[in-house]
């Protein structure tokens, strides 16, 4: 009887867990606002080129060139080409670094005094209309 009760509970809870992972509204406005606050650039981009520039055991740095489709924060505007570095676990396929993305970029000044852009860890998102709408709301409140 106890086993039957446990199985019943799992069968009732499992669909809720699956549904929670398939949330069309993710990321939340507060999640986006948090990342937005800590970076210099937020943009909807189309990746043009991607190549591994450095490898360390278990980790790779990718140099990305992309066209800005819409800027939400920072100095870039539509049509600008931006270069940045994206650190990733080794083994990512180049196909991951193609298409349209929403990126959150930190600005770092190197010894040469030139500004280099680096992706905020775990912040790159696939392009979705609901994420863009939320970023427009955040951008509007900052102006």
- Separation between Cα atoms, residue 25 and residue 32, nearest integer Å: 12
Distances (CA, A) of 114 to 13, 107, 109, 110, 117: 53, 10, 6, 6, 10
Is residue 20 domain-resident? no
Distances (CA, A) of 107 to 11, 83, 110, 115: 48, 11, 10, 6
Residue ranges making up the domain that contains 108: 26-142
> What is the predicted pLDDT for the residue at 12?
41
CB 105 within 8 A of CB 120: yes
Assign 80 to helix, strand or coil.
Answer: coil
Is residue 76 domain-resident? yes
> What is the predicted pLDDT for the residue at 23?
61
Assign 104 to helix, strand or coil.
Answer: strand
- Indicate the number of domains in the chain: 1
> What is the predicted pLDDT for the residue at 100?
97
CATH number at residue 105: 2.40.50.120
Is residue 9 domain-resident? no
Is residue 15 domain-resident? no
Please give the average pLDDT of every successive group of 10 residues along the chain, which has 143 residues. Answer: 39 42 76 96 97 92 97 97 94 89 94 91 92 94 61
CB 46 within 8 A of CB 64: no
Q: What does pTM read for this prediction?
A: 0.79
Residue 55, token pair as written in the block: 């490898």
């Amino acid at each position: 009887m106890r086993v039957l009760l446990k199985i019943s509970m799992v069968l009732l809870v499992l669909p809720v867990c699956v549904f929670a992972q398939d949330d069309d509204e993710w990321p939340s406005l507060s999640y986006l606002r948090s990342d937005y606050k800590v970076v210099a650039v937020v943009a909807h981009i189309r990746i043009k080129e991607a190549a591994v520039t450095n490898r360390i055991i278990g980790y790779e740095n990718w140099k990305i060139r992309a066209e800005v489709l819409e800027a939400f924060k920072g100095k870039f505007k539509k049509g600008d080409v931006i270069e940045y570095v994206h650190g990733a676990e080794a083994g990512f396929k180049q196909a991951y670094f193609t298409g349209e993305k929403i990126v959150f970029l930190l600005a770092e000044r190197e010894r040469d005094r030139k500004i280099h852009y680096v992706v905020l860890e775990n912040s790159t998102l696939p392009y979705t209309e609901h994420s863009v709408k939320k970023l427009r709301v955040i951008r509007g409140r900052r102006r």
